[in-house]
Every structure is written in C-alpha cells, then in structure tokens.
A and B are shown apart, each in its own frame.
Chain A
C-alpha cells in the first residue's frame, strides 16, 4: 500500500513518442484504471511502472522514492499478464512460490505464504496441477496468485480478463473487486473494456495518443467529460454528436443545430468564442426521449435495435452516423416512423472546435431548462 507518483514521464521508441509528459498521482489503496483506444500507450505506461520498460524522461516515485533505475523486483510491484504467462512446467504451487523462492524465503514461510495466497484465491485443491490442466478462470487466478504471493505494495493488471469468455469475465471482475476490498493493495488496471473500467475503478485515467485526456471518478468522467474524446469514449452506445453553431456568446450560450433547431440559455460559458463559431453538441442516448410526430415533422426512424431490456432507436440526422436514442423496451417504434426529439437539458454537453468542453455554469443547470427555447425540429 503505497503512493505512486508520475512526474512528466516520457517514453520514446525509435523516434516515436509513445507517452508525453504524463503526470499522475495515485493514492495508496486506490484502484486506478487506464483506458484508451489501442495504441494510446496505456500498456506502455503500465510496463514503465512495472519496470519492464525504461523511462526516457521524468520521474517515477513510489512512496516518495525515485524508482526509475530500480529493477522490477526492487520496486515492490506485482504484475498479472494478459496471457497469464504461467510457467507451463511448474505446478500451481511452484508457480505461486517462484518469486518467493528466488527471494530466498525460507521453506516454512514460503509454504505458508503460498497456502495463504491459494486460500484467498480458492486454489487450495489445485496446488499440484500443471497450468495445462486448469480452466481459463483458474489460470487467471493462478496468475493473480503469483503476482500477490510476494505481497507487493502495488498490483498491476494488463488486460487480465480479455482472454476469458463473457460470463467468466463478469465473475472474475467481481472477484478482483472483492480482492481489492479485502487486500487494500493499490491496484492499477489496464483495459479497453469500459464496463470493467466503470465498475472497478476508484479513478479512471483516459489516455489518448500518449497523453492523459482526463482523470477522475467514473461518475465524473461519464457526467462531466472535459473533452469530446472522453465523452465519446465512455458510454455504450456512445454519445451522439451534432454539429452546432454559436449564436450568441455569453455566460449562457445560445446555439443552433440542424437537428434540434435553436437552443437558448444553455449553461455553458462561451464568452471566449465569437458568434458563429462552430461547436459540437453532445448528448447521450439516455438523455433523449422521443414523441410521435405528426405528418412530416420530426426525424425519420432508420433503425430499431431491440435488446430485451431496452430499445435503441436510430434517427436520421443527415450525418454519416444516425442519432441513437435509448428508449424503453415497450416503445413500439418502427422503421420509417417520424419522431420528435426531447433532449434533457441537464445532459447536454457543448464542445468547441478543438474538442474541449465549454466551461459549465453549475448554477444555471437547475434554473434554466424550463426557459430554454426549442423551436421545432428541422
């Protein structure tokens, strides 16, 4: 259980900058998840912390001690690999005890530690088996046991569940959460699965092209994304983005969008922008509701996905991607219907041309939705 601190960490590989000026603090006992699209550098960042890759510039501190030049074993970290990487010729017992054996732990305490680790992970009955005689979930648990046996202060997970099938993945996810609660170890977890990220994390770090895009709790990231990238990355189906134009800059913004018409007094501070600036309006599928429109009014339904618990209705907005609206499963929309959109104003997001979220006026959110003007649908 120790504090980890990254200070302007950079990584270059053959002229390619993989990580740029990463600064991050991870408190002791925290569960931190790195997410991002493939190639964003999240695994590299994890391997830098593990000590499997060297840091080109910047400092990595564990409990205030600079560990840049320390070997992995000296950093007090354990790692679970994506492919488990169990030693195929060793039994479960030897797999878990290998690190302890190399650390010259005496036989009795080695045995105690291995048995204790196995008990925590419910591997007691499998200790004499070889990895090839284990199921996927059991292998996963052995891999975790091997990382835990030396009682590291920080546990690292590199997409540990990506090789499991869906139901086992949910089960192992819960097990990892339970483990974190009972051990209290600092855990850093890399995944591209946003459900894992949302459910496990105390703190999510969204990475994009080698930079940290946003750090925050799952709720913060979902409800208050600072950029269009974060807004689009978290959530499934993803947030709808509509092109918009700024009508009147001010403490509260008025915008116009082809799909929703004019929206006034949105709680976003646009004083820094000129009238007419291009903007992007973001709205999540669950913040839209639909009403039957008469005649040719409203938007045309171009697709309906029925999922049992809910229905996604796709609407044509003259863009490459349709607008998606999350409706109750009982809603009876058909292809070709006309629908009128009712956005929830608290759920709107406004991004400038660079993809940054406009500063939000906290007080305005509550008082203004009623006065917001909606002038029909295009």
Chain B
C-alpha cells in the first residue's frame, strides 16, 4: 500500500517539477525584460535575478519622448483599422465561401490558404511597388493595407469554418422571415459568430501591433512610425551604446495593453471554442 502511495507522490512531484521547468522556460525572458526595465542604467550589467529597489527612470525617460508616444498612437490607429477592415472583409467573404455554393469554391479556399504561406520578405519588394504606385508610402495606410493583406487569409479561413458549422436552416429561416442576405448575415449569423470574431480580431490585432518588417520598410519619419520600429530605433548617447533599460521599458509599455486585451476577452475566446454547443 505504502509503495503505491510513494509512487503516487513521486509522480506528482515529477509532474510539478516538469511544470516548473516549463514555466521558467516560458516566462524567464519576459521576467528578465521587466527586471531590466526597472534597473537604473548604472546597475544594468550587474547580473541579478531579484530587484531590491525598483527604479522608474527608464519609464519616465521613454514616456517623455514625443516620438514614442506618437508611435503608440500610430500603432493603435493602424491595429484598430486593420482589425475592423479585416473582420468586415473576411466576414462577408466567409459568408460567401461558407454558405453560397458556387463553382470553384474549393479552389478559392485553397488559394487563400496558399497565399498565406509566402514569407513576408518574398512579397516585400512587390508590395513596395504597389504602395508607391498608390501613393501611400510613409503613411499609416500603407501599413493598414499590407497588414490587412497578410491577415485576411487567416481570418477568412477561420470564419469560413465557423460559418460553415452554423446550421443552414437558420439562415433559411431568416430568408423565410423576409431577410435579405445582408440582414441574415448581420442580424442572425453575426450574433452567433461573436466569439469567433473576437478570437480572430484579437489575433489580427496582435499581428498588426507587433509587425516590424513592413513598418520599417514602408515608413520613413517619426510621425508615421509604429511601436516596434520606434523601439528598435531608440538610440543611446553614443553610437556604441545600446540603451537596454529604455528598450525594455518601452517593450513593457507596449505589451501591457495586449495582455489586458487578452484578459478582457479571455472568456469570449474560451466560449469561442465551444460555440457549437449553442445550437438552438
């Protein structure tokens, strides 16, 4: 009997240790970033894993930079526009792809998926030409356009799957009630798709918020830059000094809103995974 108990205890202990290692592995880089951001620059290169006295000088320094605040504003604007645009387009596209039977539907879906497999670098030069031709260079719309292009395949694919799972009779009932396709989509299907919209919208937001390559390529001035580029371009007193403290403080500042967003919508995301259980 006691042998079994021992075995059980050991197993549980091993499990806890495994969790601990995993947790350390996942969280340590972020912990260290936060730690670094709270150190004065003089203490930066003393390796320590605990903080005796938090020092907010990095934060005040970053927040006093007008260009950084401007970048945050730009990022918010770009990300919100991308989410709104991508959700609108993908919802209407998903309605067509998931509900309407037409020739070549499978091909279109595969094409959508195939396009999303190209790496960003592959389309960078082509996209640059498009943006120049449209006269969008060095404007937030250049980023909104390019991010939407890269987000759409994912959002279309996910929403198509979700719409396809909703019972077809629901929409037919709406049609019998006199609803046009637009009304059926917005008043009957949309309320059932909220969890899916929140999930995909959040992922689109994160992607737009963190994007670096396009942001670096398509913008030139501080007025138009987004946060990832602005952080990368924070420079120290001399050419050879990297202001780690400032970088880390800026990173923490731009990550907190994301964490908050996820926490706020957390319940929605979870219910998004079980939306099939809600059949009328």
Contacts from A to B (Cβ < 8 Å): 50, 52, 71-73, 77-79, 81-89, 98-99, 102-103, 131-132, 139, 146-147, 150
Task: Find out whether the CB atom of B183 lies under 8 angstroms from the CB atom of A87.
Answer: no
Which of B156-164, B171-179, B214-222, B245-253 lies at the binding interface? B171-179
Contact partners of B279 in chain A: CB under 8 A:
88
Name the one of A71, A73, A139, A146 contacting B173, with C-beta atoms under 8 angstroms: A146
4 tightest CB-CB pairs across the interface, nearest first? A73-B178, A99-B177, A88-B280, A85-B169
Chain A CB within 10 A, most for which of B176, B178, B192: B176
**A81-B178 contact, Cβ under 8 Å, with A89-B192, A132-B278:** no
Asked if A98 contacts B169 (CB within 8 A), the reply is no
Residue pair A78, B278 in contact (C-beta under 8 Å): no
Which B residues are closer than 8 A to A by beta carbons? Answer: 167, 169-170, 172-179, 183, 187-188, 191-192, 278-280
Contact B278 A88 (CB under 8 A): yes
Q: How far is the CA of A73 from the CA of B187 in the complex (A)?
A: 17
B residues near A86, Cβ cutoff 8 Å: 173, 280
Please name 6 pairs of A and B residues whose Cβ atoms are closer than 8 Å in the assembled complex, sorted by A. Answer: A71-B178, A72-B178, A83-B167, A87-B174, A99-B177, A150-B177
9 additional A-B pairs beyond A85-B167, A87-B188, A89-B192, beta carbons within 8 Å, are A73-B178, A79-B172, A81-B169, A87-B174, A87-B280, A88-B279, A99-B176, A103-B178, A150-B178
The CA-CA distance from A78 to B169 in the complex, in Å, is 14
- Complex Cα distance, B174 from A102, in Å, reads 10
Most chain B Cβ neighbours within 10 Å, of A72, A85, A99, A102: A85
Whether the Cβ atoms of B172 and A85 lie closer than 8 Å is yes
Task: State whether A131 and B280 are in contact (beta carbons under 8 Å apart), knowing that A85-B169, A89-B192, A146-B173 are contacts in the complex.
Answer: yes
B167, B176, B192, B280: the one within 8 Å of A73 (CB): B176
Known: A85-B167, A88-B280. A50 touches B191 (CB 8 A): no
Distance of A207 Cα from B179 Cα, bound (Å): 31
Which residues of A sit under 8 angstroms from B176, Cβ to Cβ? 50, 52, 72-73, 77-79, 99, 147
| A146 B278 Cβ-Cβ under 8 A | no
Please measure, in the bound complex, the distance between the C-alpha atom of A98 and the C-alpha atom of B178, giving whole angstroms.
9
> In the assembly, what is the distance between CA of A147 and CA of B1, in Å?
67
Are A83 and B169 in contact (CB-based, < 8 A)? yes
A102 contacts B278, C-beta separation under 8 Å: no
- Is B175 touching A85 in the complex (CB atoms < 8 A)? no
Q: Which residues of the partner chain B approach A50 to less than 8 Å between Cβ atoms?
A: 176
Rounded to whole Å, the gap between the CB of B231 and the closest CB of chain A is 42
Q: How far is the CA of A49 from the CA of B279 in the complex (A)?
A: 27
Partner of A98, one of B167, B172, B177, B278: B177
B280, A132: Cβ atoms closer than 8 Å: yes
Residues in chain B near residue A73, CB distance under 8 A: 175-178
**B177 surroundings in chain A (CB, below 8 A):** 73, 98-99, 102, 146, 150
B179/A102 in contact, CB under 8 A: yes
How far is B108's CA from A301's CA once the two chains are assembled, in angstroms? 64
A340 to chain B, nearest CB (A): 54
Q: How far is the CA of A103 from the CA of B176 in the complex (A)?
A: 12
Chain A nearest CB from B172 CB (Å) reads: 6
- B183–A85 CB distance below 8 A: no
What residues of B have a CB within 8 angstroms of the CB of A52 in the complex? 172, 175-176
